[in-house]
């Protein structure tokens, strides 16, 4: 599931904490409401993740969150993140049992359940409402029995979601919606670990860099020529002239699917031609064990 194997040339590393403080200081001064501490990597691999959450909360950022696979979530880290003021955490838990382990090894299904349960029990035991715990799965991992997934996780998590499957990055040829209008350049800035600002979260290779927070302020980048040029392309219906946009799954054609979950009917949206066949993935190697 890791995109780095498909894009070997992207920069690896963790953000310098002084650079992070510079970003948060300006963000808080300018009234930024929300930050998400994840993009191309696993946030729990960053040794400063607890400090990063606490610093942002101490600076007045109202909504601090991240997406994780949860493998590295120790009990101590769960406690520390809760005490630091993390607002919400989203776990990528694709499918149940063996299906999950096909996708997410070396973690085990029992192992991830134990970690999420501990976080919830610690939070509730302290009488806290946060972090809100969200669990999500790709559709392809639960399509044969989505009710089983919901029935299980609704007893543990605060929110349970099915998200649309997405093609692997290197096969981004799919039907596109010619009327698609992307809202991202008006609501979100993405900053890489090295301070570079890519086109958006889908610009994994930084094909359209918009700035560098080591050399520019957030304000200068947000109101700069490159960001405004991107917005103008979208306004004029020329979004696919920008390479990262042409490769983005969000611009794919979608169709609705109604799914029965117990007594409820829920509608999910799926991308045409992008469903992942989990049964064709390699089975979990028998000699692999989850890492503590």
Least confident range of 34-48, 57-71, 131-145, 160-174: 160-174
pLDDT of residue 113: 98
CATH number for the domain spanning 145: value is 3.20.20.70
The whole-chain average pLDDT of the chain stands at: 89
Q: Is residue 272 situated within a structural domain? A: no
Domains in the chain: how many in total? 1
Interatomic CA distance for residues 194 and 220, integer angstroms: 18
pLDDT tens digits for range 202-244: 898 889 999 999 999 999 999 999 999 999 999 999 999 998 9
> Mean pLDDT over residues 90-106, rounded?
93
**Burial (CB count <10 Å: 0-12, 13-18, 19+), residue 238:** exposed
Q: Greater confidence, 64 or 291?
A: 64
Least confident range of 14-23, 121-130, 143-152, 247-256: 247-256
pLDDT tens digits for range 151-200: 999 999 999 999 887 655 544 567 888 889 999 999 999 999 999 999 99
Q: Is residue 264 situated within a structural domain? A: no
Q: Is residue 265 situated within a structural domain? A: no
> Mean pLDDT over residues 59-67, rounded?
98
Q: Is residue 228 situated within a structural domain? A: no
Q: What is the dihedral of CA 165, 168, 174, 176, to 10 degrees?
A: 70
Q: Is residue 68 situated within a structural domain? A: yes
Range of the domain at 24: 13-163
Q: Sheet with 132-138: list strands edge to edge.
A: 34-36, 63-68, 88-92, 132-138, 159-163
CA distances from 49 to 60, 160, 182 (A): 17, 24, 30
Q: Is residue 281 situated within a structural domain? A: no
Interatomic CA distance for residues 44 and 80, integer angstroms: 12
Identify the CA nearest to 159 among candidates 262, 96, 88.
88
Helix axes 109-125, 97-104, angle to 10 degrees: 100
Q: Under a CB-based contact definition with an 8 Å cutoff, are residues 106 and 291 in contact? A: yes
Q: Is residue 156 situated within a structural domain? A: yes
Q: Is residue 288 situated within a structural domain? A: no
């Amino acid at each position: 599931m890791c995109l780095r194997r498909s894009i070997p040339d992207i920069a690896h590393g963790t953000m310098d904490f002084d650079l992070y403080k510079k970003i948060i200081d300006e963000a808080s001064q300018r009234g930024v409401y929300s930050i998400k501490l994840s993009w191309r990597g696993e946030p729990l691999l960053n040794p400063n993740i607890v400090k990063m959450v606490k610093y942002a909360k101490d600076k007045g950022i109202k909504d601090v969150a991240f997406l994780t696979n949860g493998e590295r979530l120790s009990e101590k880290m769960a406690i520390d993140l809760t005490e630091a003021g993390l607002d919400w955490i989203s776990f990528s838990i694709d499918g149940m049992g063996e299906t999950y382990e096909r996708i997410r090894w070396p973690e085990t299904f029992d192992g991830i359940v134990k970690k999420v349960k501990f976080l919830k029990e610690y939070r509730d035991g302290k009488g806290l409402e946060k972090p809100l715990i969200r669990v999500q799965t790709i559709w392809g991992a639960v399509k044969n029995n989505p009710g089983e997934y919901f029935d299980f996780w609704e007893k543990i998590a605060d929110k349970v979601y099915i998200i649309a499957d997405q093609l692997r990055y290197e096969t981004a040829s799919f039907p596109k919606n010619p009327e698609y209008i992307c809202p991202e350049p008006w609501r979100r800035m993405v900053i890489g670990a090295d301070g570079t600002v890519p086109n958006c979260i889908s610009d994994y290779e930084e094909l359209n860099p918009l700035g560098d927070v080591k050399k520019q302020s957030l304000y200068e980048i947000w109101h700069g020529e490159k960001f405004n040029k991107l917005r103008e392309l979208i306004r004029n219906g020329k979004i696919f002239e920008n390479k990262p946009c042409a490769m983005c799954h969000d611009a794919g054609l979608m169709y609705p699917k109604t799914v029965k979950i117990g007594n409820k009917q829920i509608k999910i949206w799926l991308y045409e031609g992008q469903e992942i066949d989990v049964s064709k993935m390699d089975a979990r190697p028998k000699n692999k064990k989850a890492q503590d």
